[in-house]
Amino acid sequence: RTKLRKAARVILVGPPGSGKGTQSGRLLDHFKMSAISSGDILRENIRNRTPLGVEAESIIQRGGLVNDSTMVKLIVGELSKRGWVESRSTLTSGITATGALSIMGHESKHTRLATSNSPSSSFLLDGFPRTVGQAKSLDDEVDMNFVVNLDVPRDVILERIANRMVHVPSGRVYNMTWNPPKVLGIDDVTGEPLTRRPDDCPETFAKRLKAYDESTAPLLEYYDKVGLLWTVSGKSSDEITPQLDEEIMRRFG
């Protein structure tokens, strides 16, 4: 695994089934970085029957989006837990307590940057942010520095989802045509069974695509305006991976 010279703080954006999970797994194999997948965290909560999981389950089954404030709390909480960002909201409460608003505000920004600029803290977010609202809240906490837009033709996506199998506990994704497991229906790493995601059924999948177009596409514009957006196109994950690796090396290697 290549250690990057500069900390990469990457966001993967792309329609459902565009291969975010696959590219994320490959980036972790190739580079010293960590990843958070919002979908995997939600599915873990569903498995463990947490209050959040119970609430999210019906939304996910309908192909909708979990609300922004819940998602922001979940993901920013996870980032702080892992020590990748210093939560600014925590610092903000300190500010009001002392009353030294402007000075403390300056310091809190400084602390935040110092933490997130450490080269060991390269990380990537898969599936978050998904709306402009989520992106703005994330901006308040950490300066992300690279947004990858996975551009995959719709007919390829539909075909891919029709034969996708997943290992839920790890989030590993297989495709019966392009990327089959070594043994049919079995996860390569753990030997546990693979399943179909309930929200991959054609009806729900169509709704997820629609939700993507409505809520997530404006994200691309948002990140393009601040100069962070980079689009990579390909019909298969294998076409995209080498381009993505090269671009990461060019920017952070």
Residues within the interface to ligand ATP (CB under 6 A): 16-18, 20-21, 38-39, 42, 59-60, 64-66, 71, 127-128, 130, 134, 199, 208
Q: Which residue is nearest to Mg ion (CB)?
A: 21
Going by DSSP bridges, is the β-strand pair 164-167/172-175 parallel, antiparallel, or unpaired? antiparallel
CA dihedral 245, 138, 144, 120 (to 10 degrees): -80
Task: Give least dist CB 218 to ligand ATP, A.
Answer: 14
Looking at the Cβ atoms of 100 and 189, the one nearer to Mg ion is: 189
Going by DSSP bridges, is the β-strand pair 9-13/146-151 parallel, antiparallel, or unpaired? parallel
Task: Give least dist CB 2 to ligand ATP, A.
Answer: 25
Looking at the Cβ atoms of 21 and 25, the one nearer to ligand ATP is: 21
Looking at the Cβ atoms of 117 and 170, the one nearer to Mg ion is: 170
Task: Give least dist CB 64 to ligand ATP, A.
Answer: 6
Which helix (H) or strand (E) segment holds residue 118: the answer is: none
Measured distance CA(208)–CA(62) in Å, rounded: 8
Q: What residues make contact with Mg ion under the rule CB under 5 A?
A: 20-21, 39
Looking at the Cβ atoms of 16 and 52, the one nearer to Mg ion is: 16
Instruction: Give me 120's structure tokens.
Output: 């060991």
Measured distance CA(247)–CA(11) in Å, rounded: 14
38, 75 Cβ separation under 8 angstroms: yes
Looking at the Cβ atoms of 78 and 107, the one nearer to ligand ATP is: 78
* β-pair partners for 150: 232
Q: What does 88 bind: Mg ion, ligand ATP, none (CB cut-off 5 to 8 Å by kind)?
A: none
- DSSP secondary-structure letter at 57? H
Task: Give least dist CB 224 to Mg ion, A.
Answer: 22
8, 247 Cβ separation under 8 angstroms: no
Task: Give least dist CB 82 to ligand ATP, A.
Answer: 17
Looking at the Cβ atoms of 93 and 155, the one nearer to ligand ATP is: 155
Task: Give least dist CB 226 to Mg ion, A.
Answer: 24
Q: What does 234 bind: ligand ATP, Mg ion, none (CB cut-off 5 to 8 Å by kind)?
A: none
Measured distance CA(105)–CA(203) in Å, rounded: 48
